[in-house]
């Protein structure tokens, strides 16, 4: 359903037009499963390198934008130099506080007001995440908290810009919103190094309207800044029908990476391995098929460490399990191939109980439930692949 009639998008279109961008081929719309995205108003043919969006440099929010703003002089004076990321976060919060006086108001009004990145999740929800993702989420939260704590001194120097206390303008929750905005929505743009900023790579830019494009692993795109046109361009080789959602691809990431970095999930289905028979032969040649094949079909069999090691090796060689389960592989495959769903089912039951007890956690818990169900589907498919593939060698 098109959302181009909504007042915030009408204002965004006006703002973009003032900055020399006007494109009627894509319009904001709401889609089942992906939410807000961009819809094609005309068919896109499968042409290599066709440009689906070309956003002028004047529309991009970069560290150069920040340095030219009211917070620029304060950033230039501060020692040690701020990181490019912190500079962008500072600008976002300053402009959001400016409200109707901000030159970026039309863009800020269409940004999410909150996020469900792991760093924003409630502690009890983080505890339910798959082990590898939980560890990364804890590390991410620690980094963000450390960055905020280290930035207090700089934020205090900005007091002359605000009538209110900087403690309210740059609160932790506000900072978290700005950090998530940059982390989940920025495009890669290698900028010239600002002398007043730290030596960390300056590669993030916010791209209004373009950042409404959602991710799909099934499309082929190229994204880059065109030095000749001075525009950030998205080129695709994928076909799209009229009134369908237009996608870009963030990269070959699994759902745990997508949630951690982009606040999103995509349903993945295990794909067939064209080399599976060759891999089975390798396992057979090294004597790793007999016992394991029997155990895969006999759920009541006792599994000692040698057998478990064989099974884990089979899973690794066959590539039947997504790389995101490497840490958890031994335990997960053991449970899946024994027909046990205790771990996943137990977490689902806990998720359901928490949903009933705390309505505010609904959206967060739904993410956990989706991840756990994906784990179960992949593990069940992996067990089936291993069982059928090893059967001839038992």
- Cβ contact 208:61 at 8 Å: yes
Question: Has residue 87 been placed in a domain?
Answer: yes
User: Do 343 and 332 form a contact (C-beta atoms < 8 A)?
Assistant: yes
Residue 182: predicted pLDDT: 96
Query: What's the pLDDT score for residue 275?
Result: 52
Residues 304 and 189 placed together within one structural domain of the fold: no
What percent helix, strand, coil does the chain show, rounded to 5? 55, 10, 35
3 inside domain: no
* Structural domain boundaries enclosing 311: 276-393
Q: Count Cα atoms within 13 angstroms, Cβ side, for 99.
A: 3
Residues facing residue 35 across a β-bridge: 31
Query: 297 and 178 in one domain?
Result: no
pLDDT of residue 165: 97
Over its C-alpha atoms, the chain yields an Rg (Å, rounded) of 25
Which of 172, 206, 240 delimits the end of a domain? 206
Are residue 72 and residue 168 in the same domain, yes or no? yes
> Do 82 and 185 sit in the same domain of this protein?
yes
Number of domains composing the chain: 2
Q: How far is residue 204's CA from residue 186's CA, in Å, rounded to a whole number?
A: 6
> What is the torsion angle, in degrees rounded to the nearest 10, for the CA atoms of residue 142, residue 115, residue 328 and residue 349?
120
Residue 7 burial by CB count (10 A; 0-12/13-18/19+): exposed, middle or buried? exposed
CATH at residue 80: 3.90.1410.10
Do 67 and 202 share a domain, yes or no?
yes
Q: ∠ at Cα 171 (170, 172), nearest 5°?
A: 120
Residues 69 and 189 in one domain: yes
Say if CB 299 and CB 338 are below 8 A apart. yes
Does residue 130 belong to any structural domain of this protein? Answer: yes
Pairing of strands 214-215, 245-248: parallel
- 30 and 1 in contact (C-beta within 8 Å)? yes
The answer to the question of residue 385 being in a domain is yes
Strand pairing report for 231-236 and 50-56:
antiparallel
Which residues contact residue 161 at a Cβ distance below 8 angstroms, ignoring those fewer than 6 apart?
70, 71, 74, 94
Query: How far is it, in rounded angstroms, from Cα 189 to Cα 193?
Result: 12
**Separation CA 23–CA 88 (nearest Å):** 27
Question: Is 5 part of any domain?
Answer: no
**Residue finishing a domain among 155, 174, 206:** 206
Q: Is residue 211 part of a domain?
A: no
Residue 231 lies in a domain: no
Domain end point (choices 185, 206, 227): 206
d(CA 21, CA 38) in angstroms, rounded, equals: 16
The torsion of the CA quartet 85, 90, 92, 96, rounded to 10 degrees, works out to 160
- pLDDT tens, N- to C-terminus, the chain (394 residues): 788 889 999 999 999 999 999 887 899 999 987 888 999 888 877 656 788 899 999 999 999 999 999 999 999 999 999 999 999 999 999 999 999 999 999 999 999 998 888 888 888 888 888 888 889 989 999 999 999 999 999 999 999 999 999 999 999 999 999 999 999 999 999 888 899 999 999 999 999 999 999 888 888 889 999 999 999 999 887 888 888 888 888 777 777 777 767 766 666 544 444 455 555 566 566 655 544 333 333 333 343 444 444 454 455 444 444 443 333 334 444 444 444 344 445 555 554 555 454 545 777 777 777 777 777 777 777 777 777 776 665 6
Question: Cα separation of 394 and 391, whole Å?
Answer: 6
Q: Give the sign of the dihedral formed by CA 113, CA 116, CA 117, CA 119.
A: positive
Q: Do residues 175 and 93 lie in contact, with contact meaning Cβ atoms separated by under 8 Å?
A: yes
Distances (CA, A) of 184 to 22, 70, 207, 260, 310: 25, 25, 12, 9, 40
Residues 284 and 193 in one domain: no
Based on the domain organization, do 202 and 71 belong to the same domain? yes
What pLDDT score was predicted for residue 267? Answer: 61
In this structure, are residues 389 and 337 in contact, taking their beta carbons and an 8 Å threshold?
Answer: no
Confirm whether 48 is domain-assigned: no
Inter-helix orientation angle 362-390/255-262, to 10°: 160
Give the containing element (helix H, strand E) for 233. Answer: strand 231-236
Regarding whether 193 and 73 lie in a shared domain, the answer is yes
Cis ω before 109 (30° cut-off from 0): no
Q: Say which residues have a Cβ less than 8 Å from residue 100's Cβ, sequence separation at least 6.
A: none
Q: Across the strands, what pairs with 223? A: 234
Q: Using CB atoms within 10 A of its CB, is residue 313 exposed (0-12), middle (13-18) or buried (19+)?
A: middle
């Amino acid at each position: 359903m098109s959302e181009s009639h909504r007042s915030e998008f009408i204002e965004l279109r006006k703002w973009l037009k003032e900055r020399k961008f006007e494109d009627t081929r894509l319009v904001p719309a709401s889609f089942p499963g992906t939410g807000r995205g961009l819809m094609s108003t005309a068919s896109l043919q499968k042409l290599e390198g066709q440009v689906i969006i070309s956003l002028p440099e004047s529309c991009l929010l970069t560290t150069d934008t920040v340095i030219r703003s009211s917070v620029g002089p304060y950033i230039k004076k501060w020692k040690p130099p701020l990181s490019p990321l912190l500079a962008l976060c500072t600008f976002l919060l300053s402009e959001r506080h400016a409200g109707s006086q901000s030159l970026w108001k039309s863009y800020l009004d269409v940004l999410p007001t909150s996020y469900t990145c792991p760093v924003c999740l409630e502690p009890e929800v983080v505890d339910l995440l798959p082990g590898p993702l939980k560890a990364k989420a804890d590390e991410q939260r620690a980094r963000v908290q450390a960055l905020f704590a280290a930035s207090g001194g700089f934020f205090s120097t900005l007091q002359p810009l605000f009538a209110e206390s900087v403690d309210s303008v740059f609160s932790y929750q506000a900072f978290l919103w700005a950090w998530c905005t940059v982390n989940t929505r920025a495009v890669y743009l290698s900028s010239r190094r600002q002398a007043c900023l730290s030596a960390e790579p300056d590669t993030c830019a916010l791209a209004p309207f373009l950042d409404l494009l959602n991710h799909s692993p099934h499309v082929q795109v190229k994204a880059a800044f065109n030095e000749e046109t001075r525009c950030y361009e998205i080129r695709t080789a994928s076909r799209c029908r009229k009134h369908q959602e237009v996608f870009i691809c963030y990269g070959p990431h699994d759902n745990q990476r997508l949630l951690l970095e982009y606040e999103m999930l995509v349903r993945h289905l295990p794909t067939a391995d064209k080399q599976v028979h060759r891999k089975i032969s390798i396992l057979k040649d090294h004597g790793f098929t007999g016992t394991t094949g029997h155990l895969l079909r006999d759920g009541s069999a006792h599994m000692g460490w040698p057998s478990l090691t064989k099974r884990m090796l089979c899973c690794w060689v066959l590539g039947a399990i997504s790389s995101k389960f490497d840490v958890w592989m031994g335990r997960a495959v053991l449970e899946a191939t024994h027909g046990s769903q205790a771990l996943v089912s137990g977490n689902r039951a806990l998720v359901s109980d928490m949903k009933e007890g705390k309505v505010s956690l609904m959206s967060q818990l739904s993410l956990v439930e989706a991840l756990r169900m994906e784990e179960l589907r992949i593990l069940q498919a992996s067990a089936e692949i291993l069982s059928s593939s090893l059967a001839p060698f038992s």
